[in-house]
C-alpha cells in the first residue's frame, strides 16, 4: 500500500518530502565539519574556528532535539507534526528564530549554558496514551544526552587533548553544553520538557493551573538558577554526569575561553 512506511510516495499518508533534511540543516552540518577541520589544523584564528565549531554544533543539536520530539509525536499519532515541517530538521520551523535560535546561542556564548531553545507544537490530543505524551517530551533531552555520549567516545577511548587541543576542547565544551541542556530540560518546571513529562499524569484540576504557569517557565528557570544553592547543585549534577560518561572536565574551561574568541589569548 502506498501509505505504508517506506512504500510508494507517502509515509503514513504524508509525502516523503516532509522527511527530507532541509538545505539549511545540511548547510549547518557542512559548516560544522568545515569548522572542525579548521580547528584541527589550526587554520587562521583557531579560537574563531572553535567558536564556529561549537555554535554550529549547538544549532545542529537544537534541530535534533526538536526533531526527536516531532518524530516520536508523529509515530504516536500526531501526523500533523510532519505537515508542519518539523521532520525536515529546518531550524526556522522550530518556533521564533530570535527567541528560539539567536537567544540560546547568545546564552551559550556568554554563559556557557545550553539554554532550551526551539519549540514544536504537538497535538497531544492526537497521541495514543499518556505514556506516549510523556515520551514525546522525554525525546528531546534524551537526544541531548545521546549527543553528549557520542562526543565523549573519543575521550573514553584514550584521547587526552594533548595534541590538537583546541579541537578537542571545542568538542568537550559542546558535550558539556549538551549535558546542561539535558539537565535543564528535565527540571519539572511547567512549560519545559521536564514539566511536560509530568503533565499527562496530573489530576485535571492541577493541569489548568499548570497551563497558566507554563508560559512563564523560562522566567521560573532563570529564577531557580539565580539561587546560588540551586545553581551549584545544577552544575554539580552536570559535572557528575560528565564524569560518568567520560567527558574530560579539564577541557571545558579551555573550550569556553576559545569560544569567546574576541577575548582569547593563547598561553
Q: Which residues are marked as active site?
A: 66
List of residues 6+ apart from 19 with CB closer than 8 A = 11, 82, 87, 88
CA angle 117–240–264, rounded 5-degree value: 60
Nearest to 255 by CA among 64, 53, 28: 53
Torsion angles phi and psi, residue 11, rounded to 5 = -125, 105
The length of the chain is 267
Q: How far is CA 93 from CA 38, 54, 59, 83, 98, in A?
A: 29, 21, 13, 11, 12
Cα-based torsion angle of the residue sequence 254, 28, 64, 127 in order, rounded to the nearest 10 degrees? 150
Query: Is the distance from CB of 242 to CB of 175 less than 8 angstroms?
Result: yes
Amino acid at each position: 500500500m502506498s501509505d505504508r512506511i517506506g512504500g510508494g510516495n507517502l509515509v503514513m499518508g504524508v509525502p516523503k518530502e516532509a522527511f527530507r533534511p532541509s538545505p539549511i540543516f545540511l548547510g549547518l552540518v557542512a559548516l560544522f565539519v568545515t569548522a572542525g577541520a579548521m580547528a584541527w589544523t589550526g587554520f587562521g584564528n583557531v579560537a574563531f574556528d572553535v567558536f564556529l565549531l561549537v555554535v554550529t554544533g549547538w544549532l545542529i543539536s537544537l534541530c535534533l532535539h526538536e526533531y526527536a520530539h516531532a518524530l516520536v509525536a508523529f509515530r504516536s499519532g500526531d501526523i500533523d507534526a510532519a505537515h508542519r515541517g518539523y521532520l525536515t530538521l529546518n531550524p526556522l520551523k522550530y518556533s521564533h528564530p530570535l527567541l528560539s535560535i539567536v537567544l540560546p546561542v547568545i546564552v551559550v556564548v556568554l554563559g556557557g549554558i545550553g539554554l532550551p531553545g526551539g519549540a514544536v507544537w504537538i497535538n497531544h490530543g492526537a497521541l495514543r496514551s499518556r505514556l506516549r505524551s510523556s515520551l514525546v517530551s522525554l525525546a528531546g533531552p534524551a537526544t541531548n544526552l545521546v549527543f553528549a555520549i557520542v562526543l565523549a567516545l573519543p575521550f573514553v577511548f584514550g584521547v587526552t587533548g594533548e595534541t590538537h587541543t583546541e579541537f578537542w576542547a571545542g568538542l568537550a565544551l559542546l558535550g558539556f553544553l549538551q549535558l546542561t541542556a539535558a539537565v535543564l530540560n528535565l527540571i519539572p518546571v511547567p512549560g519545559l520538557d521536564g514539566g511536560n513529562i509530568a503533565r499527562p499524569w496530573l489530576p485535571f484540576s492541577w493541569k489548568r493551573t499548570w497551563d497558566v504557569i507554563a508560559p512563564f517557565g523560562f522566567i521560573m528557570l532563570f529564577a531557580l538558577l539565580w539561587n546560588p544553592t540551586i545553581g551549584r547543585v545544577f552544575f554539580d549534577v552536570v559535572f557528575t554526569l560528565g564524569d560518568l560518561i567520560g567527558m574530560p572536565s579539564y577541557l571545558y574551561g579551555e573550550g569556553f575561553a576559545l569560544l569567546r574568541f574576541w577575548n582569547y589569548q593563547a598561553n
